[in-house]
Amino acid sequence: MALPLSYNVRSVFIRWRATLATILGVALVVAVYVLVQSLAVGLEKASGNTGDARNLMIVRRGSVAESSSMISREQFNIIQYRPQIARSGENGQPLISSDTLVVINLPRGNGATGEANVTLRGVSQNGFALRSQVSLVAGRWFVPGKREVVVSKRLAARFANMKIGERFKIGARELTVVGWLDGQNSAFDSECWMDANEARSLFNRESYSSLLVRPLDDAAGGQLIDELEKDKRLTVRVLRETDYYKEQTKTAMPIRFIGDFLATTMSIGAIFAAMNTMYASVGARTREIGTLRVLGFRRRAVLIGFLIEGAFLAMIGGALGCILSLPMNGVSTATISFETFSESVFQFRITPWLAMKGMIFSVIVGVVGSLFPALRASRLPVISALKSI
């Protein structure tokens, strides 16, 4: 005979003072777990939301990121007039952008002290057409040759001297901010843009970092990938732009590890709190347990009933923890990218699946914490239980 669920549910609420500390402990553990994991989810979504599936990214063979890639001007000249590349405008210019990626060091703003690295991307004129998810939200686009730069509006909120019309120094050189861009929660929200050739000149770069091209169609794209990767003069790697950015999620891995480590460490305390509460509950309900046994409930039923009670108690804490973490959803933050070692801007992302993982985690804590007290309750001798005061 199984114990009615209502008995265990009512027991939690009747002894609410004894269980409140456990609920709060589980809630804090789940809130920390969900928030740290939401950082990793936000980073992955920022990378996964970047790029256009129609575009191809060309980097040096063997490089894992643009920051470590070099494409020479000779290689660019060999590639840009391939017949598989789409063309635009009245002059029929090939849709290809030669990009230069540079990491610069800038002072933080809003009263924060210290400095941080920022990604500066040099783009050619076609770079705007190839990246439709990037839009200008204030000011104007830069004019080549005038040392002008357009910065992400999210970076502008985090660093000094990034308001429109202001200037910031890079060594002995000054760049003027003429506009703000919005990358629609993509990796471009962590970048500043200027003219590619001007960036190469300012930073004494002989080569570009990468090329971005748009083929005529999927068939032309497949043919272009095959030809470029087989051309021994080029030694390049070609992949879809969206696939390239999906690979750039290594920064999320340490955050996930930290989240799992913190959750595991804190869950030990939550398990002991649940165990203490359930032991106290068993001690206070010795006569109840004896009465249940006399009424015909088996030891197995008592064991399962107390496990359900512990799981329900932890589930309440898990739900509270998820609610406590919700106000952080969508809040912008930043960390260091392990690919470029520069500031990577993203948002906390608390997804339904992440909340569900938090709830599952809380139930596991509750079951583990109530296991030994439940075993003790199920093994109480009936006569001793009925005689207890």
Query: pLDDT at residue 254 above 80?
Result: no
> How confident is the model at residue 3, as a pLDDT?
61
Instruction: Report the chain's mean pLDDT, rounded to a whole number.
Output: 83
Contact between 86 and 216 under an 8 Å Cβ cutoff? The reply is yes
Higher pLDDT, 2 or 42: 42
> How confident is the model at residue 347, as a pLDDT?
83
DSSP string of 186-254, one letter each residue: SGGGGEEEEEHHHHHHHTT-SSBSEEEE-BSSHHHHHHHHHHHHH-TTT-EEEEEHHHHHHH--TTHHH
- b/e sequence 308-342, b meaning 16+ C-beta within 10 Å: bbbbbbbbbbbbbbbebbeebbeeeebbebebbeb
Contact between 118 and 192 under an 8 Å Cβ cutoff? The reply is yes
Query: pLDDT at residue 6 above 70?
Result: no
> How confident is the model at residue 283, as a pLDDT?
62
Query: pLDDT at residue 345 above 60?
Result: yes
Query: pLDDT at residue 44 above 90?
Result: no
> How confident is the model at residue 33, as a pLDDT?
85
Average pLDDT over residues 273-296: 68
What is the band of 339 on the pLDDT scale with cuts at 50, 70, 90?
Answer: low
What is the band of 287 on the pLDDT scale with cuts at 50, 70, 90?
Answer: low
- b/e sequence 198-226, b meaning 16+ C-beta within 10 Å: bbbebbebebbbbbbbbbbeeebbebbbe
CA 130 – CA 115 distance, rounded (Å): 32
Query: pLDDT at residue 57 above 70?
Result: yes
The residues near 180 (Cβ < 8 Å, ≥ 6 apart) are 136, 137, 138, 139, 150, 151, 152, 153, 156, 164
Contact between 147 and 173 under an 8 Å Cβ cutoff? The reply is yes
Percent of the chain with pLDDT over 90: 33
Which amino acid is it at 225? Answer: I
Query: pLDDT at residue 119 above 80?
Result: yes
The residues near 235 (Cβ < 8 Å, ≥ 6 apart) are 60, 61
333 membership: H or E segment, kind and range? strand 332-336
Q: Is 179 left (phi over 0), alpha (psi -120 to 50) or beta?
A: beta
Contact between 96 and 241 under an 8 Å Cβ cutoff? The reply is no
Residue range 257-282, pLDDT digits in tens: 776 777 777 777 777 777 777 677 66
Percent of the chain with pLDDT over 70: 85
Query: pLDDT at residue 42 above 60?
Result: yes
- Ranking 20-24, 50-54, 118-122, 127-131 by mean pLDDT, the lowest is 20-24
Query: pLDDT at residue 385 above 60?
Result: no
- Ranking 29-33, 69-73, 174-178 by mean pLDDT, the lowest is 29-33
Contact between 52 and 241 under an 8 Å Cβ cutoff? The reply is yes
Query: pLDDT at residue 64 above 90?
Result: no
Residue range 349-367, pLDDT digits in tens: 899 999 998 899 888 888 8
Residue range 135-159, pLDDT digits in tens: 999 999 999 989 999 999 999 988 9
Average pLDDT over residues 328-344: 76
Task: Fill in the DSSP letter of residue 306.
Answer: H
Other Cβ atoms less than 10 A from the Cβ of 345: the count is 27
Higher pLDDT, 189 or 373: 189
> How confident is the model at residue 361, as a pLDDT?
87
Query: pLDDT at residue 389 above 50?
Result: no
Please tell me whether residue 299 adopts helix, strand or coil conformation.
helix
